[in-house]
């Protein structure tokens, strides 16, 4: 076989090494001094991954083969004026990698379990539990006599737990921070938890990486789109903030080109630093490489 033939054969059989960031949709915030929504679970092979876990490993994939991608939507904030739990988000998927949706924030209740757990409402309640190596739990409350503000706790983030509320604390809890990754070539934060709501006091903040702030007698702030941030809990009978949708970002050597199939919204970057990146922001469908 000629040298050109050998090179052609190698190119035909070459595997594609793909780094990934897979962030699920964040949970919605709870109603009536509700807990902040938990951030969507985060799994990543570059810089840092969620839940304080060990960095994940890149995938070795075949050319000209379809691989499934799903970008999870954010959960709805609780609505209706009475205590209502925020809805959990939806999972995000890339091939064999699934990131778990963020848990909804509590509304006169515990927070919901998720990639990161939703924050607990006022009282003596528990934040939602987290998924290992994807995020952290929501904040816990341990005080039944902290009126008239009745503060709730923050949702968990990919990088930290939601802030707890304990004896005599009259301010709502902040959302847990997300984590930063440089998979795009720049450092960007993802998957922050939503802040808790209250009747009064100092407003909570959402965690870095798209978490929404809690409301003080006001609607919770939504999580940021395509970060997996949790929505802020409401103060009073206002609505909780919606969770932010997730995102899937894929990094691969710049001599490959991706095809983003029907049903997905996304784009491929120009080559930079030896890589191209595909950022997929919505939908379900297939991707392949040539």
SS (H, E, C) the chain: CCHHHHHHHHHHHCEEEEEEEEECCCCCCCCCCCCCCCCCCEEECCCCCHHHCCCCCCEEEECCCCEEEEECCCCCCCCCCCCCCCCCCCCEEECCEEECCCCCCCCCCCCCCCCCCCCCCCEEECCCCCCCCCCCCCCCEEECCCCCCCCCCCCCCCCCCCCCECCCCCCCCCCCCCEEECCCCCCEEECCCCCCCECCCCCCCCCCCCCCCCCECCCCCCCCCCCCCCCCCCCCCCCCCCCCCCEEEEEEECCCCEEECCCEEEEECCCECCEEEEEEEEEEEEEEEC
Per the prediction, the chain carries an average pLDDT of 94
Give me the pLDDT at residue 3, please: 42
Share of the chain above pLDDT 90, in %: 88
Asked if residue 46 belongs to a domain, the reply is: yes
Least confident residue range of 79-93, 174-188, 242-256: 79-93
Asked if residue 171 belongs to a domain, the reply is: yes
Give me the pLDDT at residue 275, please: 98
Asked if residue 5 belongs to a domain, the reply is: no
- Residue 6 binned pLDDT confidence (cut-offs 50, 70, 90): very low
Give me the pLDDT at residue 144, please: 62
Asked if residue 13 belongs to a domain, the reply is: no
Give me the pLDDT at residue 111, please: 98
pLDDT top residue among 173 and 13: 173
pLDDT top residue among 2 and 186: 186
- Name the maximum alpha-carbon separation found in the chain: 83
- Residue 83 binned pLDDT confidence (cut-offs 50, 70, 90): confident
Share of the chain above pLDDT 70, in %: 95
Asked if residue 47 belongs to a domain, the reply is: yes
Give me the pLDDT at residue 80, please: 82
Q: pTM for the full model? A: 0.95
Asked if residue 15 belongs to a domain, the reply is: no
pLDDT tens-place string over residues 150-176: 999 999 999 999 999 998 889 999 999
- The answer, yes or no, to whether residue 10 has pLDDT greater than 70, is no
pLDDT top residue among 37 and 123: 37
Containing structural domain, residue 95: 20-262+275-290
pLDDT tens-place string over residues 88-126: 999 999 999 999 999 999 999 999 999 999 999 998 999
Asked if residue 270 belongs to a domain, the reply is: no
Domain count, the chain: 1
- The answer, yes or no, to whether residue 7 has pLDDT greater than 80, is no
Asked if residue 75 belongs to a domain, the reply is: yes
């Amino acid at each position: 076989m000629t040298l050109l033939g050998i090179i052609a054969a190698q190119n035909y059989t070459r595997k594609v090494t793909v780094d990934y960031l897979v962030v699920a949709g964040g949970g919605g915030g709870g109603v009536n001094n509700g807990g902040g929504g938990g951030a969507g679970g985060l799994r990543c092979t570059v810089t840092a991954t969620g839940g304080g876990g060990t960095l994940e490993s890149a995938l070795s994939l075949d050319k000209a083969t379809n691989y499934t991608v799903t970008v999870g939507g954010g959960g709805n904030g609780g609505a209706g004026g009475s205590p209502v739990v925020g809805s959990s988000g939806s999972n995000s998927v890339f091939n064999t990698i699934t990131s778990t949706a963020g848990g909804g924030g509590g509304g006169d209740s515990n927070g919901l379990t998720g990639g990161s757990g939703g924050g607990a409402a006022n009282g003596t309640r528990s934040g939602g539990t987290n998924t290992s190596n994807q995020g952290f739990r929501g904040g816990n409350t341990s005080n039944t006599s902290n009126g008239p503000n009745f503060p709730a706790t923050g949702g968990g983030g990919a990088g930290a737990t939601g802030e707890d509320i304990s004896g005599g604390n009259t301010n709502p809890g902040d959302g847990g921070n997300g984590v930063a990754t440089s998979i795009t070539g720049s450092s960007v934060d993802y998957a922050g938890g939503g802040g808790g709501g209250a009747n009064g006091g100092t407003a909570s903040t959402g965690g870095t990486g798209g978490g929404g702030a809690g409301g003080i007698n006001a609607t919770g702030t939504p999580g940021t789109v395509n970060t997996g941030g949790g929505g802020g809990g409401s103060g009073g009978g206002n609505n909780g903030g919606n969770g932010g949708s997730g995102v899937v970002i894929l990094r691969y050597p710049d001599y490959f080109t991706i095809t983003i199939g029907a049903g997905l919204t996304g784009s491929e970057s120009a080559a930079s630093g030896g890589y191209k990146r595909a950022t997929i922001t919505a939908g379900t469908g297939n991707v392949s490489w040539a």
